Amino acid sequence: MSELPKAYQPQAVESKWYQYWLDEKFFEADPESTKPGFSIVIPPPNVTGMLHMGHVLNNTIQDILARKARMDGKEVLWLPGTDHAGIATQVMVEKSIRKEGLTRHDLGREKFLEKVWEWKDKHGGIIINQLKKLGASCDWSRERFTMDEEYSRCVQHVFVELHKQGLIYRGKRMVNWCPASLTALSDEEVIMTPQKSFLWYFKVQVAEDPGTWMTIATTRPETIPGDTAIAVNPKDPRYGHLVGKHVIRPLPIENKAKIPIVADEHIDLEFGTGVLKVTPAHDKADFDIGQRHKLEIIDVLNADGTTNELAGQDLAGLDRFEARRKAAELLREMGVMEKEEPYENKVGFSERAKVPIEPRLSEQWFLKYPEVEASHKCVVDGHMKFYPDRWAKTYDHWMKNIQDWCISRQLWWGHQIPVWYHNETGEVHCDLEPPANEAEWTRDPDVLDTWFSSWLWPFATMGWTGDKAEDAENPSLKSFYPTTDLVTGPDIIFFWVARMIMAGYSFMGDLPFRNVYYTGIIRDKQGRKMSKTLGNSPDPLVLIEKYGADALRFGTMRSAPLGLDVLFDEKDVELGRNFCNKLWNACRFREMQGGEQEGEIDTKRLNSDDKWILIRLNTAIKEVNQAFEDYKFNEATTTLYRFFWNEYCDWY
């Protein structure tokens, strides 16, 4: 037996053994195996992505679960893959071609998509290789991509089926709108950001009582031309006598319309003056008020965030922020501006375009969620376990207040909606295949929300086709669905977890996973969330190069209590490296002191020290197994450290 090198060199050791595991196909799952199955699907990172500390935490936990299941004699499938990341990828490619002086419109849809696929082929494997550096024991032979041909067909099939059931429909509703990317956005793609602005107080005259004025506070004077009412709380004694009357809207100057005063219980008596200007086309809460009171809808903004002709001759054609300044100036000139105050509130920004979004009425495709009751009940009744269980309350609240999902996006990169419109009759054709005489039809240009493909991830990755007979004979689905565990962040309970549960019940007749482990947020030692902006997020690859992957994994898990945020400190990774060194040196010491042959322990030859360490070993094994059972991985690392360093090395 060759002697272990004196110094532990993690890069050499880790790369050697990882390659050996790959060569021996130790990570590849056999669906025909007679062993009990264990499966877990990786939350697919964006194909645009690079490894960050959140990935380290999430994938280390998954790897622990997969490796422990293999040790327990199970047939393990840990299925990897990447997400096409619609808007994120499109924005990156658009930036790339902009350097050549081109826009996607210059290229046209087909040529632009060729560029995106080229970019994906060039950069798409980066994060997969980084996960391998981390030591992830995925079955890489099964790697999937949410835009690969088979997966795309699954997505299209699901759309067509739900459309047939009447659950997918087209309608005009309020959505998050990005004026830069010219697309609807999911709530997950909107970042609420504190912004310093002003609260403008202006007065309006009651039409029926000249000389009676009401003061309104607003952060958006540029939308006054779109106001179709003002609202007060019916419990507010200041304004009750005015309900049912009208005020004169000050803008646009050439159309000072009379708009009604309505009473609505949702008005906050404490905000501003307790009087709200109601602009149904430009605010979600105002839209709801407008629906309750059957108010007119006046949209004064174009899709790109500029004002249109309905804003009036003084404001039309201006950028929305310039229009805001101009509207305030007009109110001052008219003598109705009472005051302006500095004001800080949270404004939604497009995550990718970095501009404030607009609540906008837009014609989009929507999904009325299927299997809501079964999906709600499985968590409430405990058929699916959440760790920690407090997230079950969050899930319960959302499922009780579920709203239809806007599933269309005005992008080119993604799953194009399988709908065609007849050029003359307007007839709608929804099918996997285009209609006959395709030249007479125009395909819907929109693509599906990225989440519409990822909600199918637990079964679409295993070869699901939608053909019941075929799927019933699918070995992977038979052996590995439902999956055992899901590891994810609580920030996507609604966007991903809940939707996967509903998709599982809808298309597989069963829940998609048995247990959900919610990680905490990685923070620096000052408690700040890690971000590129703050510059407090270390590069995991640098840490792996410096300390080794095992050290990074051990240090991260040691500081990650179940369900709590992780206060990351590089000293924990140093501790992990020192622990690896201790293991190595203990093995070298054992190699030098003991024989080469392992054998059964002869209990007659054991002294009191030997018996003590065996008792401590047995205790450690029980504690580690229990920690795994309870998903308390930091306790497992603490026990391992205590036993091996303090008890075995220091005492025994």
Q: List the domain range (segments joined by +) for residue 201.
A: 187-358
What is the model's pLDDT at position 104?
95
pLDDT confidence tier of residue 2, bands split at 50, 70 and 90 = low
Tell whether 577 is covered by a domain: no
529-536 long-range contacts, Cβ below 8 Å, gap at least 24? 530/52, 530/53, 530/54, 530/568
Q: What's the confidence (pLDDT) of residue 108? A: 97
- What percent of the chain has pLDDT above 90? 90
Contact yes or no for 567/629 (Cβ under 8 A) = no
pTM for this prediction: 0.90
- On whether residue 207 sits in a domain, the answer given is yes
The per-residue pLDDT of the chain, averaged, comes to 95
What residue has token string 């959900």? 516
pLDDT at 320: 98
pLDDT tens column, 563-592: 889 999 999 999 999 999 999 999 998 888
Please write down the HEC assignment for all residues of 525-574: CCCCECCCCCCCCCCHHHHHHHHCHHHHHHHHHHCCCCCCCEECCHHHHH
Domain count for the chain? 1
Question: How high is the pLDDT of residue 243?
Answer: 97
Nearest residue to 220 (alpha-carbon basis) of 265, 286, 266:
286
Mean pLDDT of 347-373: 95
User: Could you read off the pLDDT of 143-181 as tens digits, one per residue?
Assistant: 999 999 999 999 999 999 999 999 999 999 999 999 999
Predicted pLDDT at 218:
97
Name the band, by pLDDT with cuts 50, 70 and 90, for residue 604: confident
Q: What is the mean pLDDT of residues 299-327?
A: 98
Q: Would residue 103 count as lying in a domain?
A: no
pLDDT at 597 over 70: no
Instruction: Check whether 372 has a pLDDT greater than 60.
Output: yes
Which of the four pLDDT bands, split at 50, 70 and 90, describes residue 594? low
pLDDT of residue 367: 98
For residue 193, being part of any structural domain is answered with yes
d(CA 314, CA 588): 83
Residue-wise pLDDT for 11-65, tens only, equals 999 999 999 999 999 999 999 999 999 999 999 999 988 999 999 999 999 999 9
* 217 is a domain residue: yes
Q: Residue 440 pLDDT > 70, yes or no?
A: yes
Q: What is the model's pLDDT at position 381? A: 94
Q: Which of 59-68, 334-343, 533-542 has the lowest mean pLDDT?
A: 533-542
Asked whether residue 352 carries a pLDDT value surpassing 90, the answer given is no
Indicate whether 544 pLDDT > 90. Answer: yes
Q: Is residue 224 part of a domain?
A: yes
d(CA 225, CA 307): 10
Examine the pLDDT at 532 and tell me if it is beyond 90.
no
280, 309 contact by CB (below 8 A) = no
CATH number at residue 314: 3.90.740.10
Contacts of 52 (CB under 8 A, 6+ apart): 530, 537, 540
Evaluate if residue 1 carries a pLDDT over 60.
no
Note the pLDDT of residue 5: 87
Neighbouring C-beta atoms of residue 437, cutoff 10 Å = 8
Torsion angle, CA of 225/250/201/350, rounded to 10 degrees? 10
pLDDT digits (tens, 9 = 90+) for 180-206: 999 999 888 899 999 999 999 999 999
Q: One-letter amino acid identity for 273?
A: T
Q: Is residue 547 very low, low, confident or very high in pLDDT (cuts 50, 70, 90)?
A: very high
Quick check: 306 pLDDT over 70? Answer: yes
Inside any domain, residue 551? no
CB 282 within 8 A of CB 327: no
In a domain, 240, yes or no: yes
